[in-house]
Amino acid sequence: MASCPVSGKNSNALASLMSDNPRYAEMFDVNSEAANAGVDNNRDYTDDMNALRDKAAVHKGSLRELLGVPELPMSMGPPRDAMTFFSFRACEIGFRENLIFSSEGYNESPGVRTIGTTILSMVGKPHKRLRSAAQPLFKRPKVLDWWNKRWIEETVDALLDRLLDRETTDLNTELCARLPMATVTRAIGLEGEDVIEFRYQLTRATFGAAKLPPEEAAASRATVDQTLRDLIAENTRAPGDNLIAGLIAAEIVDEETGEKRSLTEDEIFGYCKLAIFAGGGTTWRQLGITIDALLNHRHFWDACREDRSLVDLAVEESLRWRATDPMMPRLCTQDTEVEGVMVPEGTRVFLCFGAANHDPAVFENPEKYDIFRKKQPNMGFGFGPHRCLGMDVARQEMIVAINGLLDRFPHMDFDPSRPKPEYRGLEHRGMTSVPVKLK
């Protein structure tokens, strides 16, 4: 991908985005993420999850309980009996049978409830209806022709061109964290420092609210809601070329009347908040994981440099090998047998697809990072009706970013003067840093 000049309004906006805002370090540190609270930062839990899978496909207990990690108080709602699925087959059933292993369990989570109405916590026809409104905006042709050209390529160019005169850098904060946050937040119509501020306030208003005085959490929620109301009003008056305008124009079939209707303001709110959390967090960590994997397997970095079609395979293999979010919760709605184990109604089920993606019954030499392995579906973006809506956007962000690095810094390697990066976390896994010598 060749670098291209940026001009006009976008030039000023991107220049502001490139600032050394201290909130980057605050928001994008794997060890300090609220979801990783209680986790041993000196431990990689991959082998432990795999060992549990090898003992049984289904275990009684939550993933944290089984790994000996303290539970997060009220993270998923009131206490329930729990079970964890570890095999590929068990997780496939858990993802596919969404009426039995219901996503509505998310509604018990205080953090998720603050986001509002979203497809995350819906099932069946209501889920399908609401998802259909945004689906066209996230399909691969739209991603290649709109997301790439409108935001991704421009942002990658701006981020990497500012590194051209440097000898070393930490790509975690200079590229991995900034790119997806900028892409998805600019996609809803924000630019410059507003991108950082909105993401910061949204984090404080939702999953970070438990650590704040109630009045501060309420102030952050008010800031987020007012920002979105202003953007919706602006795009209602004069539709822009952005995600909010696309959602305003979308129609769904009303569940009660059977007639087409526009999305409500709450539904648009929910889509925007969910897109920022899902797109800004997971892609940040997964991009760092992929770069680290390629540099640790130097022959694959060199192969990608010579044949850029391999970058797609490198990204896909990293999603299987080290998925940043290796577990998703569900709520069992009826007594069901899975892999010979009875799962009672009312059980909170954890689908540990991080272990499923390493299941030797499905993947040959699963612990090996191999971009040339036989193509098979993996669960890096989930599976079934709730598979990640924005997965093609995330893929393209990583593919364009890695191609940009290969263009500018073909001989890039780890910075030997910096501590070696470590892969850390449990629910939200990622690299502690990505320190590189660029030339």
pLDDT in tens, the chain (439 residues): 444 444 444 555 566 566 677 777 777 777 766 567 788 888 889 999 999 999 999 999 999 999 999 987 667 788 899 999 999 999 999 999 999 999 999 989 887 887 777 899 999 999 999 999 999 999 999 999 999 999 999 999 999 999 999 999 999 989 998 999 889 888 998 877 777 788 888 888 876 666 788 899 899 989 988 999 999 999 999 999 999 999 999 999 988 888 999 999 989 988 988 888 777 778 999 999 999 999 999 999 999 999 999 999 999 999 999 999 999 999 999 999 999 999 999 999 999 999 999 999 999 999 999 999 999 999 999 999 999 999 999 999 999 999 999 999 999 999 999 999 999 889 889 999 999 999 9
Alpha helices by DSSP H, listed for 178-309, are 178-187, 193-205, 214-237, 243-249, 265-277, 283-296, 298-306
Q: How far apart are CA 186 and CA 197, in angstroms?
A: 12
The count of structural domains within the chain is 1
Establish if 1 belongs to a structural domain: no
- Model pLDDT, residue 276: 80
Establish if 336 belongs to a structural domain: yes
- Model pLDDT, residue 13: 56
Establish if 293 belongs to a structural domain: yes
Ramachandran angles phi, psi of 343, nearest 5°: -110, 110
DSSP type of residue 91: H
| Planar angle of CA 319, 389, 84, nearest 5 degrees | 55
Establish if 18 belongs to a structural domain: yes
For residue 61, the enclosing domain spans 8-437
341 burial level (CB within 10 Å; 0-12, 13-18, 19+): middle
Query: Which helix (H) or strand (E) covers residue 63, if one does?
Result: helix 63-67
Establish if 3 belongs to a structural domain: no
- Model pLDDT, residue 9: 47
Q: How far apart are CA 249 and CA 235, in angstroms?
A: 10
Q: How far apart are CA 364 and CA 341, in angstroms?
A: 26
253 burial level (CB within 10 Å; 0-12, 13-18, 19+): middle
- Domain CATH code at residue 235: 1.10.630.10
Establish if 188 belongs to a structural domain: yes
**Residue 223: partners with Cβ closer than 8 Å, 6 or more residues away:** 201, 205
Helix axes 391-408, 153-161, angle to 10 degrees: 40
Establish if 359 belongs to a structural domain: yes
pTM above 0.75, yes or no: yes
Establish if 323 belongs to a structural domain: yes
What is the dihedral angle through the alpha carbons of 98, 99, 105, 106, rounded to the nearest 10 degrees? 50
Residue whose tokens read 């209707």: 261
Q: How far apart are CA 411 and CA 391, in angstroms?
A: 29
Q: How far apart are CA 113 and CA 294, in angstroms?
A: 38
